[in-house]
Amino acid sequence: MVTQALQERAGAVTFKGEPKTLVGPELRVGEALPNFTLVGADLQPVTPQGITENGKSAALLIVVPSLDTSVCSLESKTFNGRIGDLPSGVVAYVVSRDLPFAQARWAKEQGDVRLRFLSDYLDHSFGRATGLEIKELGLLARAVIVVGKDGKVRYLQLVREVAQEPNYDEALAAARNAV
């Protein structure tokens, strides 16, 4: 079996000021979302086609390192509080490497959570396919991705300093425009 080396982008992000390496090809606006498999709350596989509900919905992917950190928790709470700003044709997901059980625990602790959760814990294919895996930490970089019904990336915000929040207004405007 031949194993192909994954592309690495040294210094693509920082974590608390320290440069970190992202693994995988750089995701670009206009390209189709690459193939990967995430795990849903029901422990079933979710592919890019599932994220767009087989072309019926656009998707807002809120990618965070871990819901067990203050910035990721705050970001997810903020997006959840603003989910009403989105049209019905957009589905919002939080994607992390947290186990689905931890994601469900976080949602239960928050109360009224309308976000959906997907985990990249099993085979790490999402992080590597989208170029969002932080090599040194084994976590996902902070990013927001908007995917159109056609499965193409319409918007990408890679937060260069992982410990900072994204631009919510810009991300939500992009999601509104994706339908």
Which pLDDT score, from 0 to 100, does residue 3 have? 53
Q: Which residue stretches of 12-124 are H helix?
A: 48-51, 70-81, 100-110
Active site residue 126: no
CATH assignment of the domain containing 51: 3.40.30.10
Q: Is residue 2 part of a domain?
A: no
Q: CB–CB of 121/133 below 8 Å? A: no
Does the pLDDT value for residue 127 go beyond 60? yes
- Residue 65 to residue 18: CA distance in whole angstroms: 16
Look up the domain containing 149 and give its range. 8-176
Per-residue pLDDT, averaged over 70-84, amounts to: 97
Give the percent of the chain with pLDDT over 70.
Answer: 98
Q: Is residue 61 part of a domain?
A: yes
Q: Is residue 96 part of a domain?
A: yes
- Residue 133 to residue 54: CA distance in whole angstroms: 26
Which pLDDT score, from 0 to 100, does residue 31 have? 97
Q: Is residue 71 part of a domain?
A: yes
Q: Is residue 73 part of a domain?
A: yes
Per-residue pLDDT, averaged over 9-36, amounts to: 97
Does the pLDDT value for residue 130 go beyond 60? yes
Which pLDDT score, from 0 to 100, does residue 22 have? 98
Buried/exposed code over 60-71 (b: 16+ C-beta within 10 A; e: otherwise): bbbbbbbbeeeb
CA distances from 160 to 84, 100, 107, 116, 152 (A): 27, 26, 26, 25, 22
Which pLDDT score, from 0 to 100, does residue 4 have? 64
pTM metric for this prediction: 0.96
Q: Please tell me which residue in 59, 72, 95, 172 is annotated as part of the active site.
A: 72
Tell me how many domains the chain contains: 1
